[in-house]
Amino acid sequence: MNFYKIFINIALLIIAPNIVLAVEPINSKTENRVYVGLTWGLNSNVNYLPDLSFGVRSMRLDSDNFSNGADLSLLVKYQNSQFIDSVRLLYVGGSRDTQINLGGGYSFSKNSPFAATYLQIPNIRIGTDYLVNDREFNSNIEVNNLGRLGSFSECPFNDYRIVPEQYQATVNDRTVVRTRYLCVKVSH
Question: For residue 153, what pLDDT is reported?
Answer: 57
**Can you say whether the dihedral through the CA atoms of 77, 78, 82, 84 is positive or negative?**
positive
Tell me the pairing of strands 174-185 and 67-76.
unpaired
Its CATH architecture, for the domain 28-144, is: Beta Barrel (2.40)
Q: Look up the pTM and report it.
A: 0.68
pLDDT in tens, the chain (188 residues): 565 556 555 554 554 444 433 334 456 678 899 999 999 988 866 667 888 999 999 998 876 678 899 999 999 987 766 688 899 999 999 988 899 999 999 999 889 999 999 999 999 999 999 999 999 998 999 999 988 877 655 565 566 666 777 778 787 888 888 777 676 777 66
Q: What angle do CA 113, 116, 122 make, to 5 degrees?
A: 145
**Could you state, in order of their start, the residue ranges of all structural domains in the chain?**
2-26+152-185, 28-144
